[in-house]
Structure 1
Amino acid sequence: MISEQVSKHLFDVCIIGSGPAGIICALEYARKNPNHQVLLIEYGIKGQASKNSLDDRIEIKNSLNHHDPYEATNKGLGGTSATWGGRCVMYDEVDFIDRTILNEGCTWHIDLLNEINQYLPQTADYFECGKPIFNLKEVPQLGEKHIAENFVDGIVTDSIVERWSMPTRFGERYAKDIADQPNLTFIEGFEARDFSSPDNLGNVSTLSIRDIKTKKIEKIKAHTFILAAGAQESTRILLRNPQLFKKLSDIPSSLGKYYQGHVSGKIASVQFKGDPKKTEYGFLRDTDGSYFRRRFQFSSEFLINNNLLNTAIWLDNPLYFDPKHRSGAMSFMYLAMITPIIGKKLAPPAISHSITKGKVTGIPQHFWNIFRKLPGSLVIPASIFVKRYLFKRKLPGVFLFSPQNRYALHFHAEQVPDAENRMELGQDKETLVIHYKLTDEDINSVIKLHHTLDEWLRSSGCGELNYWYDKEELPNAIRGMSKDGIHQVGTTRLADSPEKGVVDQNLNVWGTSNIFVCSSSVFPTSGQANPTFLLGAFAVRLAHYLTRKNENN
């Protein structure tokens, strides 16, 4: 039960969901407005059961390409950051340009990106990922270096980087900050249910929440409500509350539609021709100790002119489950990952699946690899374990040096905004049914950009690609390997009108004056980037926008 102090209080801001977006928005707003009262509501609780009613009421129609909700999201303070890898990536300019291939699905504008950039320093502080510099050309001592010998920058670039957080587990990291903030109240174990109807000015006065243990309904009063419950739950709440749109001629047609993630996997390796010791295959360290890493990307002009989707490709290890890699260290780590109990402690389900692909195979050959490469088979994993689990600034991942200068290539590609990819309520009006598929455009773009990378590397004498599949096998191979549902965007997309989107440029739900959505579901395009860092920037921006709005009233 909530206290009488909470149930009878009129809060200035009520935030639903305590993942990274909810925590950042709550702390940023509370700190900037010490005389305002903020309420942060979380569904999960400490010591919660392994199953919950929200995830149990999600139906995935395509389990081949979409993770189960228990593999993709988390409940409790900190939300999905509890199993987040820590990769911080910025969206690119091309993601804000309405290209032909997007079928008018890009409903935000480049000026929004330019505005967002001013909030990146505060965002980077929350994520503890170092300076928010994502292009090494802005760093004099690194701008002239390259990923491998003879690489030439042009339509393919190696200067865009991903940065890495501690990784920040927001629940653990910010629990004390939340508790110590005098004007911020945190309650857990409550499900957001029903909003009151907007009045003539579009103001919504109350939100009904349900105690997940007692099932008792309580009402929360606030001047402003923010849905920061993740894409699935923020979308489900809006779908379940059609009265919010009564001031409009109809419910926004895009609500729940245009669901996107990323097409991801490996179909080729790169063979570099230069000195293996000069290849930047792994992590680089910034002056503050934070990690960052290069990736191949393609120029905006090239993508637009060739009608292709934004894609990042980075150096990776061979497939762990295939003992043909002949690496004792990789075989040791693969066997550890598929070992019950131990494997679950080493990595969350979705990341574990990306390594093992759910396969248990070649066990004798893996043991032979380990034996043949002793003592390195044990020393290398031990060193990685210390850096990854015992240091405060943890090693974000595992990338092993190749004496042959040969590396697998991991692609991470944008999807077309497709109305058939959607979230909708089932007949019971409670179950969230998720329809998700890969389009031909998604797959063809991945293949064409691999060919582009191959031609570019060959032209400079830097290297070449070796495909793992015959040309005619590539489309089906990509369909069979790509699995997302972790990066959820598009279902409450931002647009200039309710005819095209669900929220406006300030994340205000169309038809209301005081309900906002702070979730990656507002992103109209998925780009090549993981959405978490940009969402953090939107959370900072929303806190500042609401502060200015209050000052002007």
Structure 2
Amino acid sequence: MILDANSIGNGSCLFADVCVVGGGAAGISLALSLSGQGLKILLLESGGRGEHKPTQELYAGEVADDKLHSPPDKYRQRRIGGSTTIWGGRCVPFDEIDLEKRDYMPFSGWPMSYSELQAYYPEANQLAEAGRFLYDAEDALGPGAPPLFKNFDSGMVRTNSLERFSCPTDFGTRYAKRLELAPDIKVLLGANCTAIRLEAGGRSVDELEVTTLAGQRFRIAARAAVLATGGLETARLLLASRDVARAGIGNEHDVVGRYYQCHIAGNVGTLTVNGDPKDVRHGYEVSPEGIYCRRRLSIAPEQQRRLGLANICARLHFPRITDPSHRNGVLSGLFMARHLISYEYAKRLNDGNPTASTYARHAMNIVSDPLDTAAFLTHWLTHRTLAKRKFPSVILRNRSNRFSLEMHGEQAPRADSRVSLVQSVDALGMPQLRVDWRYSPQDIESMRGTLDLIAQEFERTGAGRLTYNRDTLEEDLMRFGAYGGHHIGTARMGNDVRTSVVNADCQVHSVRNLFVAGSAVFPTSSQANPTLTLIALSLRLGNHLSRRLAPKAAIPLEAVAA
């Protein structure tokens, strides 16, 4: 059942076994996993079925440095489906090394084994509509699939790992019918959780307060409450709920909002591959079940440990789009159309202050490259715009065998990279956030070490040559600051209450019936985009709650007078 929260009587109290706050990938996956277990589930979503400016503005806040981090109301969507309404669909699991305690990586180590997480990846893959859980090229594409590079054989630099791509699946649209028909799930749209009220001793949640933009107010009493509101909003709600816990819930040791991570990313260097361009698999390949897949380069775990490197991957990429010297009509067309592209993707096309000469050179590229431009537009229309499973991104024919490397890497957690509350409030009276994202010299050195090892192995094998500017590496990586909407680590899990907010079951240490789902609980960020792993962790939490809340007497999910 899906209802408008304004239909709930003012001052009412709703009862449920589990109340999930947030209707994005984590919240929807969790609710679906709980369905059919004899529990009554209530799912609260702040937004509706589409964009709504006043609701989106509830995300507004401050950033310490707008060159390092986008405003908090960007890269996130406050509506059913959350940010899956705008994501690119990239699905990648974490690696086993990501969960390890690594002496060279501060605050590393997850309080669970990799096998515990891996058990939930196949179902997460299915929910994301990314096909089978196969992320090795030979397994996914078959033993006859050509390698990424024909003559590159290295035990240090791996080229057989894959990214798989969702449709991309909008969870709000894709699973709306299941949520609507499930007899044990009630979804309330336009329902903003504005406070978590603890009982007097602070050891359990008494009620959740809910407010709508229209002014309706009601309460939720649940046996378990789960925050699935993303890495930023989870910290905001915990910190703002301070009537009993004066420093904020779960914040006895000033950890909530700290250790905030994104990813270190940027286009770097020039890789010139020897041989015929057709022997480089730089584009998308299609698995037998019709899933777009793409290869990438990564450093073998034993080499990461030996050299003390963060986990980083590299994708083959085209030259910088904003520089017309690439003489490519398609890239120049993207530059000229950047104001028509959504913020999430246009940001990296707004590099510097282009002059009239720059525009003229881009225009000349388009005019002088009509065949490739026309072929690209035709392909984009048929395989992206009109296709149900969309071609993931721009891929261009490469005649020169020269590429830049698109780097995407883990950052070292640091306590002073954080989000905190400010005095200003939103339309509901909630304190707004200030985002102070910081990276470390170690992050840049790990990128440098990774690039050096890749360059060494290309030279050793004779497969090609990688060059990059060591003096401008940090500038190249930080040109656009923190990467995208990957908000990680603000309510991190761990066994030590002094450096973590939740335990291995994602339960807030100090509150027995309060849980967190999503990338806020990740202790470290990996090289991987977070979506697939946060879905897997949500499914794991669903299994835990199903066992913990074994049905007792049936509880009607209906409003009663306060």
User: Normalising by structure 1, what TM-score?
Assistant: 0.92
SS state at 1:102 partner: coil
Q: Cα–Cα, structure 1 residues 256 and 381, in superposed 2: closer, same or farther, change >3 Å? A: same
Aligned to 2:266: 265
CA distance in 1, matches of 2:254, 2:236: 15
Aligned to 2:506: 507
Q: Which amino acid aligns with 1:79?
A: G
Q: Is the 8 A contact 1:6 1:220 kept in 2?
A: no
Aligned to 2:40: 37
Aligned to 1:240: 240
Q: CA deviation at 1:137?
A: 4.7
Over aligned residue pairs, what C-alpha RMSD do you find? 2.4
Q: Is the 8 A contact 2:50 2:79 kept in 1?
A: no
CA distance in 2, matches of 1:353, 1:87: 19
Aligned to 1:437: 438
CA distance in 2, matches of 1:27, 1:357: 42
CA distance in 2, matches of 1:502, 1:369: 53
SS state at 2:383 partner: helix
Q: Which amino acid aligns with 2:435?
A: I
Question: As a proportion of its length, which structure holds more helix?
Answer: 1
The within-5 A match list for 1:85-484 is 85-103=88-106, 105-109=107-111, 111-139=112-140, 141-142=142-143, 145-198=146-199, 202-214=203-215, 216-242=216-242, 251-338=252-339, 343-344=340-341, 348-357=342-351, 360=354, 362-427=358-423, 430-467=431-468, 469=469, 471-484=470-483
CA distance in 1, matches of 2:116, 2:482: 33
Q: CA deviation at 1:49?
A: 3.8
Shifted more, 442-451 versus 357-366: the winner is 357-366
Q: CA deviation at 1:271?
A: 0.7
Q: Is the 8 A contact 1:245 1:510 kept in 2?
A: no
Q: Cα–Cα, structure 1 residues 13 and 377, in superposed 2: closer, same or farther, change >3 Å? A: same
Aligned to 1:498: 497
Q: Is the 8 A contact 1:11 1:221 kept in 2?
A: yes
Aligned to 1:543: 542
1:19 aligns with 2:24: yes
Instruction: Provide Cα deviations, 1:400-456, integer angstroms capped at 9, x if missing partner.
Output: 121111111100011110111001112457121111122111112112211111111
Q: CA deviation at 1:56?
A: 5.3
CA distance in 2, matches of 1:465, 1:17: 44
CA distance in 2, matches of 1:390, 1:407: 29
CA distance in 2, matches of 1:211, 1:249: 26
CA distance in 2, matches of 1:196, 1:5: 18
Q: Is the 8 A contact 2:202 2:245 kept in 1?
A: no
Instruction: Provide Cα deviations, 1:345-368, integer angstroms capped at 9, x if missing partner.
Output: xxx312222344476552111121
CA distance in 2, matches of 1:232, 1:489: 8
CA distance in 2, matches of 1:2, 1:502: 35
CA distance in 1, matches of 2:85, 2:68: 23
Q: Is the 8 A contact 1:149 1:275 kept in 2?
A: no
Q: CA deviation at 1:5?
A: 11
Identify unmatched segments of 5+ residues in structure 2: 1-5, 425-429, 553-562
Instruction: Provide Cα deviations, 1:6-53, integer angstroms capped at 9, x if missing partner.
Output: 9444201111000110111111111x32x3211111111346543547
Instruction: Provide Cα deviations, 1:477-502, integer angstroms capped at 9, x if missing partner.
Output: 33334432511111100001322210
Q: CA deviation at 1:253?
A: 2.8
CA distance in 2, matches of 1:144, 1:47: 41
Q: Is the 8 A contact 1:195 1:244 kept in 2?
A: no
Q: Is the 8 A contact 2:42 2:185 kept in 1?
A: yes
Q: Cα–Cα, structure 1 residues 142 and 262, in superposed 2: closer, same or farther, change >3 Å? A: farther
Number of equivalent positions: 539
Q: Is the 8 A contact 1:155 1:302 kept in 2?
A: yes
Q: Is the 8 A contact 1:22 1:228 kept in 2?
A: yes
CA distance in 1, matches of 2:529, 2:54: 26
User: Normalising by structure 2, what TM-score?
Assistant: 0.91
Match of 1:60 among 34, 39, 63: 63
Q: CA deviation at 1:315?
A: 0.5
